[in-house]
């Protein structure tokens, strides 16, 4: 509708004032004024030499007489408030009534391809609450981009090598007593994570002892025996020492199995997986190329650096003096490999916390300096951290919220809360229902927040059946399915007189903007726009349901209109929730 109005207004202005206008600004009419959509007149007065009232009356009267969209208008200073004809909404609903994926653009073979990276964990610890936000955000963004017509490749890079992995390996060799996860009936990633915590406990003790013996803090940290063992193990790994590689491979496999179980619980998946142990070698080759191009340089100790000070950044280490790589080494290799695998790629999104903002500025700038034109299509989806009431999570201290435990606790909470509300479900699929409600609460709580903002995680408030929560939205969807259960054959005739109540009109206005919301959510990589759109739609529907008689309406065509409107709301809830990775049950 907005685009239609823009085209008509441009024609009116050209005809009356002989001026071409490119930018017209429309916005929803403020609640205290009559109207549905408002045209801002003030920006037009810079080009059109007249007063707001004259301009408003000219545009308003012509829209009313020449278009089938506007019924009436009113002027409030520089704001032209337009009331849309009921016939427009009737026609609109009739046009989309059979489009179950209204607002979604289906990709085809010629659609642009975009890569979305998320998760990308280290294989020295299990997934935690921070990883949950990362996975949910990345997965949802990939679904939103698909709804915008992109062919999306969901990917991750598994950080399966480096000093952090060697720390877990050293601790297992020292304290593991040759045990395997299966011996203790442990999930593999959780098993390995315990040794990462053990390493850091031992490391702290050794550093404290060295400081007590007279070492400086820096020297103590660099010379702690267990740290020296981890560094030695990293050197052996990079030299392809057989015994080291065998243990590394086995421990990583334990973790991979554990990750896969968590991903399945969370409902996320991937189309491709890259491993740092593969891409870091390609990264080293790129660094050699950079040295030849004189983009990178050696320091006296043999380490390789890049100087980005002329671009407002600092010097960046690319290879240590002993030849071992750092994080950015593999990131260079991974980016290059992905382009090699997908040469037609039109964009790549990195879903990584804002603690790595500087890292990605450096990465993108280095790729640009190396002459890779595709570097301009790289985007860092930076998101805020997840905090606990007790403070920041720390993996090395074992103070994180374990992802598996959190998921299970959310499912258990769903069952308890449903029981307390008299909603105990005695169905064969009750387990799936509580799973959907629990995960729906978790996912919605996290995704309704703008990615850039930090989150204070509060699981209790995520279950409010009357608030801005996943269960509230799921319950509304189930209510709609209950209404439609005995009224599947909807025979609405748009040519017959249909009255539109104000509350029905508000719903139609919300449905009208759904495609634009999907578009904006894709442009901004922001699932929160989808989440909050659904919440607004659900609130409007519940107000409609509580004030308008649907099933008791005596006029069969009017009743069919209300049932069709309800069905369309249900379809949008369903499709929008899929964009957030949320399942909606037919019954609650």
Q: Which of 300-314, 335-349, 429-443, 534-548 has the lowest mean pLDDT?
A: 429-443
pLDDT bracket for residue 46 (50, 70, 90): confident
Domains delineated in the chain = 2-84 (3.30.1360.70), 118-397 (3.40.50.620), 425-579 (1.10.730.10)
**Mapping DSSP to helix (H, G, I), strand (E, B) and coil, where does residue 81 land?**
strand
What is the torsion angle, in degrees rounded to the nearest 10, for the CA atoms of residue 376, residue 108, residue 510 and residue 443?
-70
Sign of CA dihedral 226, 230, 231, 236: positive
pLDDT bracket for residue 421 (50, 70, 90): low
**What is the pLDDT, as a whole number, of residue 417?**
81
pLDDT bracket for residue 292 (50, 70, 90): very high
Give, to the nearest 10 degrees, the angle between helix 129-147 and helix 242-266: 60
Burial class (CB in 10 A: 0-12, 13-18, 19+), 442: buried
Angle at 115 between CA 111 and CA 117, to 5 degrees: 155
- Does pLDDT of 389 surpass 60? yes
- Does pLDDT of 201 surpass 80? yes
- Percent of the chain exceeding pLDDT 90 equals 83
pLDDT bracket for residue 55 (50, 70, 90): very high
> If we measure between CA atoms, which residue out of 132, 137, 120 comes closest to residue 452?
137
pLDDT digits (tens, 9 = 90+) for 480-515: 999 999 888 899 999 999 999 999 999 999 999 999
Q: Tell me what the mean pLDDT of segment 195-218 comes to.
A: 96
- Does pLDDT of 296 surpass 80? yes
For every residue of 298-360, DSSP letters joined together read E-TTS-EEEE-GGGT--EEEEE-TTS-B-HHHHHHHHHHHHHHH-TTEEEEEEEEEGGGHHHH
pLDDT bracket for residue 401 (50, 70, 90): confident
Q: Which residues pair with 481 in a beta bridge?
A: none
pLDDT digits (tens, 9 = 90+) for 567-576: 999 999 999 9
């Amino acid at each position: 509708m907005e685009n239609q109005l823009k085209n008509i207004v441009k024609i009116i202005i050209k005809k009356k004032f002989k001026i071409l206008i490119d930018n017209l600004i429309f916005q929803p009419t403020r609640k205290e004024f009559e109207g549905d959509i408002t045209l801002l007149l003030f920006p037009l007065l810079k080009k059109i030499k007249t007063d707001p009232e004259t301009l408003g009356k000219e545009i308003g009267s012509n829209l009313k007489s020449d278009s089938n969209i506007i019924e009436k208008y009113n002027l409030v200073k520089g704001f032209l408030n337009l009331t849309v004809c009921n016939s427009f909404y009737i026609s609109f609903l009739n046009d989309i009534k059979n489009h179950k994926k209204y607002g979604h653009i289906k990709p085809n073979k010629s659609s642009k391809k975009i890569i979305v990276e998320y998760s990308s964990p280290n294989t020295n610890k299990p997934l935690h609450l921070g990883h949950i936000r990362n996975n949910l955000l990345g997965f949802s963004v990939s679904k939103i981009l698909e709804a915008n017509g992109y062919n999306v490749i969901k990917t991750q890079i598994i950080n399966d090598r480096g000093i952090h992995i060697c720390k877990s390996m050293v601790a297992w060799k020292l304290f593991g007593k040759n045990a395997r996860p299966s011996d203790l009936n442990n999930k593999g990633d959780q098993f390995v994570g315990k040794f990462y915590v053990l390493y850091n406990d031992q490391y702290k003790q050794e550093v404290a002892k060295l400081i007590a013996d007279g070492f400086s803090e820096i020297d103590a940290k660099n010379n702690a025996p267990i740290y020296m063992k981890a560094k030695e193990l990293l050197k052996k790994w990079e030299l392809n020492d057989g015994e080291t590689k065998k243990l590394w491979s086995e421990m990583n496999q334990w973790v991979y199995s554990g990750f896969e179980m968590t991903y399945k619980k969370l409902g996320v998946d991937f189309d491709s997986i890259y491993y740092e142990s593969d891409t870091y070698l390609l990264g080293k080759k790129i660094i050699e190329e950079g040295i030849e191009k004189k983009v990178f340089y050696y320091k006296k100790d043999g380490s390789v650096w890049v100087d980005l000070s002329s671009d407002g950044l600092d010097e960046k280490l690319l290879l240590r003096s002993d030849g071992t790589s750092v994080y950015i080494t593999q990131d260079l290799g991974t980016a290059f490999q992905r382009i090699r695998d997908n040469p037609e790629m039109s964009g790549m999104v990195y879903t990584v916390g804002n603690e790595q903002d500087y890292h990605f500025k450096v990465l993108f700038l280095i790729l640009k300096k190396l002459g890779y034109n595709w570097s301009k299509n790289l985007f860092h989806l930076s998101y805020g951290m997840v905090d606990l009431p007790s403070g920041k999570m720390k993996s090395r201290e074992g103070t994180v919220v374990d992802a598996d435990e959190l998921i299970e606790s959310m499912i258990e909470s769903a069952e308890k809360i449903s029981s307390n509300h008299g909603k105990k479900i005695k169905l064969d699929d009750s387990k799936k229902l509580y799973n959907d409600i629990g995960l729906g609460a978790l996912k919605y709580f996290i995704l309704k927040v703008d990615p850039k903002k930090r989150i204070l995680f509060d699981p209790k408030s995520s279950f409010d059946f009357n608030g801005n929560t996943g269960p509230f939205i799921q319950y509304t969807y189930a209510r709609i399915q209950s209404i439609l259960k005995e009224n599947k054959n909807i025979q609405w005739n748009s040519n017959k007189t249909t009255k539109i109540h104000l509350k029905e009109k508000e719903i139609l206005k919300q449905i009208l903007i759904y495609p634009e919301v999907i578009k904006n959510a894709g442009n901004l990589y922001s699932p929160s726009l989808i989440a909050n759109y659904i919440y607004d739609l659900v609130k409007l529907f519940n107000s409609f349901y509580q004030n308008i008689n649907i099933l008791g309406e005596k006029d069969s065509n009017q009743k069919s209109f209300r049932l069709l409107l309800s069905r369309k709301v249900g379809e949008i809830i369903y499709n929008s929730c899929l964009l957030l990775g949320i399942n909606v049950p037919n019954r609650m």
